Amino acid sequence: MTIDPTLLTKAKTLSEALPFMRQFAGETFVIKYGGSAMGDTSIAETFARDIVLMKQVGINPVVVHGGGPQIGRMLERLKIKSEFIDGLRVTDKETVEIVEMVLSGSINKAIVRDIIEAGGMAIGLSGKDGNLIEARKLRRTKRDPDSNIEKILDLGFVGEPVAINPALFVMLEETEVIPVIAPIGVGENGETYNINADTAAGAVASALAAKKLIMLTDVCGVLDKDKKIIPELSAKQAEAMIKNGTITGGMIPKVETCLEAVRSNVEAAHILDGRMPHVLLLEIFTAGGTGTMIR
């Protein structure tokens, strides 16, 4: 894939970027921000500038962020043990308080600060604010290989979205404010739930009928069996690649989130390498993009 080296120069000013991005004016992009990019100061600053530029040209970016490594470090400092089951952190009452503190506190506010320092206006929210993300306890089962009986796994306060309240997002679309969302949900009895950031971003994108769901990850996109990036996939092709084992491991839930989104009012979902500078702009500016797009 050849990327025009002048693209990043063109992206530096609003007047030069506008012709490329005009087609998306008025559209909503939901961006899941996480992984190694969040721990790299220069990449974080670049991400913030690109988000501000998107807002300036009329796109409505909604940022949903993760924070697994930061949560892990805080739990370690506090000598609180945690374990994972099928990639999900088991979250008891003590742990969920730390999760909320880290996600809704330090991480969320750092992203907001970066956007403001880049010249934009942002507001940090969690899914509990205004009942933004209503959630329920996530239930998982696992078959015991010895007895062949399905057992219910208790993940504690790990949740899944059941409803997204779009009113606040609609209101913010009419302003210059960029929402930055921590993936914390609220249960019907006021419980706090830790929600996987990919899942939360997909649910928000579907509820808002977003033009794009963009997943920033630690990989360059979906790879074929020869480990080459696949620029574009249909939903049927992606499903087939999961079944035949081409898509494996941690990429499966990401692709499944994208598939659910494109089946639910989202025009396209993108899996991009968040470690690449200006990856958001490059995805918009180039015909082939830089990662994998699923329609």
Pairing assessment for the beta strands 192-195 and 158-164 based on DSSP bridges: parallel
Tens digits of per-residue pLDDT, 221-236? 999 888 899 999 999 9
Rounded average pLDDT over 217-222:
88
The two three-digit tokens of residue 269, written as one number? 């979902």
pLDDT of 154 over the 80 cut: no
Question: Which residues are paired to 126 by β-bridges?
Answer: 182
- Whether the Cβ atoms of residue 101 and residue 71 lie closer than 8 Å to each other: no
Nearest-5° Cα angle at 11, 212 to 52: 60
Which of 8-17, 26-35, 88-97, 137-146 is least confident? 8-17
Rounded average pLDDT over 208-231:
91
Question: Residue 94 burial by CB count (10 A; 0-12/13-18/19+): exposed, middle or buried?
Answer: middle
pLDDT of 16 over the 70 cut: no
The two three-digit tokens of residue 31, written as one number? 């961006």
**Mind listing the domains of the chain with CATH numbers?**
7-294 (3.40.1160.10)
SS3 state of residue 158 = strand
C-beta neighbour count of 273 within 10 angstroms: 18
Instruction: Supply the pLDDT for residue 253.
Output: 87
Provide the 8-state DSSP code for 107.
Answer: I
Tens digits of per-residue pLDDT, 75-89? 889 988 888 876 778
pLDDT of 9 over the 60 cut: no
Instruction: Supply the pLDDT for residue 116.
Output: 97
Q: Give Cα 159 to chain centroid, integer Å.
A: 16
C-alpha span between 93 and 97 (Å, rounded): 7
The two three-digit tokens of residue 17, written as one number? 């970027």
In sequence order, the 6+-apart residues with CB closer than 8 A to the CB of 256 are 242
pLDDT of 119 over the 80 cut: yes
Provide the 8-state DSSP code for 129.
Answer: G
Q: What percent of the chain has pLDDT over 90?
A: 54
- Whether the Cβ atoms of residue 164 and residue 202 lie closer than 8 Å to each other: no
pLDDT of 160 over the 80 cut: yes
pTM: 0.89
SS3 state of residue 125 = strand
